A = this chain, B = another copy of it.
Amino acid sequence: MRPHTHITLDRNSPVPLYFQVAEQLEQAIAAGTLGAGERIGNEVALAADLGLSRPTMRQAIQVLVDKGLLVRKRGVGTQVVAGRVHRPLGLTSLYDDLTKAGQQPRTVVLKLDVVHPDDQVRAELRLPEDARVWYLERLRSVGPDPLAHMVNYLPIDVVDLSSVDLGETGLYEAMRRAGVVMRVGRQRISARRAEAAEARMLGESEGAPLLTMERTTYDDAGRAVEFGTHAYRPDRYAFESTLVDR
């Protein structure tokens, strides 16, 4: 155990108390104030120190356990996980990823249309026979080289894509601005050979390996709001994620 690292609470803030604690603990870990393998806690004492109830303190710790930064062990305590911190793979888009990493992505819209979806897309989005969807095809680059070729399908009533500058705004950002609250994504990552046209667009040779991702995203009402199939140049992109067992 060790003296806890100067956590201050603002009980008038709209930010929940458990979140304030989690944020400051995370900063302490990132800054090295709490080093790998070091123990925090215990929960009861920490809660008392901060004038919180134990459930609230537990909730704060749980946030960091879920992020893979802390591990709990009954009868022992709560410790900082070894190893450098990865940004977790969340419900973000490639555009979000790149801008957060300080990159400046450029996007070319190759096609934007309203179409009748094929059976696979209609099944993924759980749409009726006669429904129509947005068809969006884009090419994204960072620096001089292309990075990803992206095809997305959205139910037409989710957002009006014709009124959005998709060269300047990411698709997820546009959806959020339209009031869509995305909550769950189900994705499948694999690889395959580049086809001729695709290879040309991405600046690769035909048959080169491409990293592929298919994702269906659902909003806070459980409705499918987007289905996409993307292809990435594997020398320029990888999927990183943290898995936690509870």
Contact = CB atoms under 8 A, between A and B. Distances in A.
A180 to B, nearest CB: 12
Interface residues of A, number: 56
A71 to B, nearest CB: 5
A185 interface: yes
Nearest to A76: B221
Contact of A190 (B186, B219, B234): B234
A218 interface: yes
Best-surrounded residue of A37, A83, A210, A237 (most CB of chain B within 10 A): A83
A36 interface: yes
A78 to B, nearest CB: 9
Given A191-B211, A192-B234, A244 B82 contact: no
Interface residue SS majority, chain A: strand
A155 to B, nearest CB: 11
A170 interface: no
Interface stretch (A84-92, A109-117, A160-168): A84-92
Contacts of A80: 222
A124 B67 CA distance: 19
Contacts of A152: none
Contact of A126 (B36, B76, B124, B192): B36
Contact of A83 (B126, B237, B244): B126
A79 interface: yes
Contacts of A244: 91, 183-185
B190 A37 contact: no
A41 interface: no
B82 A126 contact: yes
Interface of A: 36-37, 55, 68, 70-73, 76, 79-83, 86, 89-91, 124, 126, 182-193, 207-211, 216, 218-224, 234-235, 237-245
18 contacts: A37-B221, A70-B222, A76-B221, A81-B222, A82-B224, A86-B186, A89-B243, A91-B243, A91-B245, A182-B245, A185-B243, A186-B240, A187-B240, A187-B243, A188-B238, A190-B211, A192-B234, A208-B209
